[in-house]
Amino acid sequence: MNTVYNNPYVVKQLPHHHVPLYPNNPNSETFNKFMNRCIKEENEEVIFRKELRLYYDQDSTDNQLVEGLELMAQASDEGNLEARYVYGLILLCLGGDRLAVALSTLAPLI
């Protein structure tokens, strides 16, 4: 496991279905260390999973909501289509000055 964990290519390419959205123990040091490693290697699917948890968790603080939205934008920019769609819809719902960004985010999906 340590060899896999230390291989940046493997960590970046890990498919999201290998990472639970809600693990049995999301506060475990091992899980968080692994998630942070995937994020460091810019694994877009893991970034998207983390942002979903941060943004939609009912216990999220305002800072976590902002972090979740920033991670969503990062995953969208990295090419994750699910992240692009969800990020664009959230921005669309927030409206105001975010409307133009929402439309430009969603336009390539049409």
Q: Where are the beta strands (DSSP E) in the chain?
A: none
Contacts of 4 (CB under 8 A, 6+ apart): 10, 11
pLDDT at residue 57, as a whole number: 74
Q: Which two tokens stand for residue 30?
A: 């091992």
Confidence of residue 23 (pLDDT cuts 50, 70, 90): low
Q: Residue 57 gets which letter from DSSP?
A: -
pLDDT digits (tens, 9 = 90+) for 34-66: 778 888 888 877 777 777 777 777 677 788 778
